[in-house]
Amino acid sequence: MRNIKLTIQYDGSKYRGWQKLGDSDNTIQQKIENVLNILTEETIDLIGSGRTDAGVHALNQIANFKTNSKVSTNKILTYCNEFLPKDIVVKDVTEASENFHSRFNVKEKIYTYKICNNQIQDVFTRKYCYHIPSKLNIQNMKLASMLLIGEHDFTAFTALKSKKKSKVRIISSIDIKENNGNISIVFKGNGFLYKMVRIIVGTLIEVGSGNISVNSVTDILKSLDRTKAGSTAPANGLFLTKVIY
């Protein structure tokens, strides 16, 4: 039994997320599985490093699958890119060790959120960033982000409803950069909860807009109350940038 590792890039704009659904085949996972099923003449179970929500993009999503097929990794690569939709690309295909698991072996993930903070939206980037025409205070956003670094219970920053699942995660860094009105917020951590990055971004935007003070971010974190945090930033500005093993 072979274990095949894929590195995948996709524009999530028109898809209902990574995870396949019972009532729709309009997901990234399902589209790739459909192609692999035909190629290998098997029923493939593709395991992703994690779910990305509807509308979220990926620069380097990692996935793996087990197969008895003898088809070469180069053939898998070329076949996938010939028959997948053009907004899904397999960048690399390699043989992985038998024990490699794209989700369970993850050490850290890096997500990037993009904001256009110019008065006029760039027509060519409008699908891949959140347009905020009013000027944001980047320094205050940076100060607020520092309060979220470390190991915390991020209940206030997730849409996850389950009370049984731990909401403790470690954010090792949040790097905010601005260049000519283009803002990138890069998150690095051992895992991220459902909509966690987008809610943190929404909260930092509130800080940058002057609607929430820097120090109140600590109070929001400690409150474990989702209603205290900012709104959920739109999905189109979020990219899964890298998965670290």
Residues catalogued as catalytic: 53
CB atoms within 10 A of CB 56: 26
Whether 7 and 91 have beta carbons less than 8 Å apart is answered as: yes
Query: Cα–Cα–Cα angle for 38, 40, 41, nearest 5°?
Result: 60
Q: Encoding tokens for residue 203?
A: 């909260």
Q: Please, which residues have CB within 8 angstroms of residue 104's CB and are 6 or more apart in sequence?
A: none
Measured CA to CA, the distance from residue 78 to residue 98 in angstroms comes to 23
Whether 45 and 85 have beta carbons less than 8 Å apart is answered as: no
